[in-house]
Amino acid sequence: MRKIFIDSNIFIRHLTHDDPRLSPKATKFFKDLSEGQFVGYISVIVLHEVTYVLRKGYNLEEKRISGALITLLRMENLKIVDMPKETVLTALTEYGQHSVDLADIFYKHIALNNGCLIASFDRDMQKIGAPFYKM
């Protein structure tokens, strides 16, 4: 079964419905995930980014954010994975060579370590050679 690492922007577009072009794609992505068309992977870093953006950028209450994320995380085929120390060191080395967010580099390496493609609306993923999932 296909494995897809999910970037925080997919969660944000789905939960806020703030982008007329990207939000429907994100919502369809989560519908496909819930129907078992693939297995989704995230890191706790994704959860941190999502909660931070929704709280600070959208002024959503913690209770609303946690409820929405708990609902999504209860999907049977959504897995939480992270990285071993050596991978973190490799990612930090790569971070020193690119002008992109460290989280994006972490996501790339988590995806690679788990045989995943990455679902993201972030063009920086292409700059760092992340294995991309076309939505």
> Domain boundaries in the chain?
3-127
Q: Which residues of the chain have pLDDT under 50?
A: none
**If you average pLDDT over every residue of the chain, what do you get?**
95
- Which of 10, 2, 5, 27 lies closest to 122 in space, CA to CA? 10
pLDDT number for residue 111: 95
Contact of 42 with 78, CB cutoff 8 Å: yes
Q: Tens digit of pLDDT for each residue in 62-98?
A: 999 999 999 999 999 999 999 999 999 999 999 999 8
State pTM to two decimals: 0.90
Q: Topology of domain 3-127, per CATH?
A: Rossmann fold (3.40.50)
